[in-house]
Structure 1
C-alpha cells in the first residue's frame, strides 16, 4: 500500500484507534491532518507520524461538536494541502445510560459526536473527495457491542452510523467516492477511562464488556482501516467489516 501524495484526515487521532491509524498511514507515506481535543497527545502522535517518513502532519485541536468546527477542519486541510483523499471518522465517546434515565442531554451528546459529526465532516469533505475519487472510513461498533446494557445512546448512534455508511455508499457511488465502515470489538483504548464514573464502576463496566469478548489491540484495527482506505479492492463499497474475534456471531 502506498499513500504517497495522498491527504488523509483522521479524527480522534490523539489516542486509541485514531492514533494507531494515523501512525500507520504515515508509515505508508500519507500527508495527514490529525484532529483531536488533547493537544499534548495530539502532538505526541504527530511526532511519531513525522518520524515515519519525515512528513509533518497538520494538527487541529478542536471540539468537533462545536458549531462550524467540521468546516474548520476541512478548510484548514485544503488550505495546507490543497486536497483530501481519505476521511477517517474515528472520533467518538461513550456515556453510560439507558431508557430509564431522565438525561436526554447525554443521549443528544452521544448522537452528536458519534453520528452527527461524521455526517457533517463527510458533507464538508465531499467536494474535495469527489475531485480525488477518495473515500470515507467510519468506525462503528460490532453488533454484539451494540446490545450491551447501559450503552443506549452510544448503541443507537453507532447503529445510525452503520446505516449512514450504507446509504452514503449508494448515494456517492456515482461520484466515484467509496464509503465503508470498520466495526471493531472491544479494543484496548482509553474510552472507558474517560467515563465519568468511579474506578469501581469503571471496572464493573469493563468486566461486563469483556466477559466474553476478545480484547483487540488498536494497531490491528488500524491495519484494517488503512487497507479499506487504500483502494486495493476498488469495489469495496458500503461494507461493514467486523473485526471482533467472532463475538458478534455468538
Structure 2
C-alpha cells in the first residue's frame, strides 16, 4: 500500500485508533492533517509521523463540534497541500445515558461528534475528493447482540454512522468516490477513562466480554483502515468491515 503524495485527514488523531492510523499512514508515505483536542498528545503523534516519513503533518487542535471547525479543517488542508485524497472519520465520544435519565443533552453531544461531524466533513471535502477520486473511511462500533445498560445513545449514533456509510456510498459512487466503514471490536484505547461509570460497572460492561473475545490493539485496527483506504480493492464501496475479535458472536 503506497500513499506517497496522497493527502490524508485523520480526525481523533491524538490517541487510540486515530493516532495509530495516522502513524501508519505516515509510514506509507502520506501527507497528513491531524485533528485532535489534546495538544500534547497530538504533537506526540505528529512527531512519530515525521519520524516515519520526514514530513511534518498539519496539526489542528480543534473541537470539531464548534461552529466553523469542520470548514477550517478542509480550508487549511487544501491551503497547505492543494488536495485531499482520504478522509478518516475516527473522532468519537462515548457517554453513559438512558431513556430514564434527562439524557437529551448527552444524546445531542454524542450525535454531534459521532454522526454530524462525519457528515459535515464529508460534505465539505467532497469537491476535492471528486477531483482525486478519493475515499472516506468511517469508524463505528461493533454491533453487540448483548445489550449493555447505559450505552443506548452511543449505539444509536454509531448505527447512524453505519447507515450513513451504506447510503452515501451509493450516492458518491457516480463521482468515483468511495465510502466504507471499519467496525472494530473492543480495542485498547483510553475511551473508557472518559466514562462516568463506576469501576464495577465498567467491569460488568467490558470485563466479562473481554474474557470471551480478543481485545484488539489500535495498530491492528489501523492496518484495516489503511487497507480500506488504499487502492488494493478499488471497487470496495459501501462495505462495513468487522474486525471484532469475536464480539459479533456475543
- The answer as to whether partners of 1:18 and 1:90 remain within 8 angstroms in 2 is yes
Matches within 5 A, 1:111-126: 111-126=111-126
Distance 2:55 2:145 in 1: 36
Q: State TM-score, norm by structure 2.
A: 0.96
Distance 1:48 1:55 in 2: 10
**Paired positions, count:** 250
Matches within 5 A, 1:16-35: 16-35=16-35
- The answer as to whether partners of 2:13 and 2:91 remain within 8 angstroms in 1 is yes
Matches within 5 A, 1:34-183: 34-144=34-144, 147-183=147-183
Larger deviation, residues 208-217 vs 132-141: 208-217
- The answer as to whether partners of 1:148 and 1:209 remain within 8 angstroms in 2 is no
Matches within 5 A, 1:2-17: 2-17=2-17
DSSP-derived class of the 2:193 partner = coil
Q: How well do the aligned residues superpose, as a CA RMSD in angstroms?
A: 1.5
DSSP-derived class of the 1:182 partner = strand
CA gap 1:24/1:4 in 2 versus in 1, 3 angstroms: same
Q: Which runs of 5+ in 2 are unaligned?
A: none
Q: Which runs of 5+ in 1 are unaligned?
A: none
1:213 CA drift (Å)? 3.3
1:147 CA drift (Å)? 3.7
- The answer as to whether partners of 1:147 and 1:155 remain within 8 angstroms in 2 is no
- The answer as to whether partners of 2:14 and 2:42 remain within 8 angstroms in 1 is yes
Distance 2:123 2:146 in 1: 26
1:198 CA drift (Å)? 4.5
Q: Deviations over 1:182-233 (max 9, x none)?
A: 0000000000012234545444443255353321110000000000000210
CA gap 1:145/1:44 in 2 versus in 1, 3 angstroms: farther
DSSP-derived class of the 1:142 partner = coil
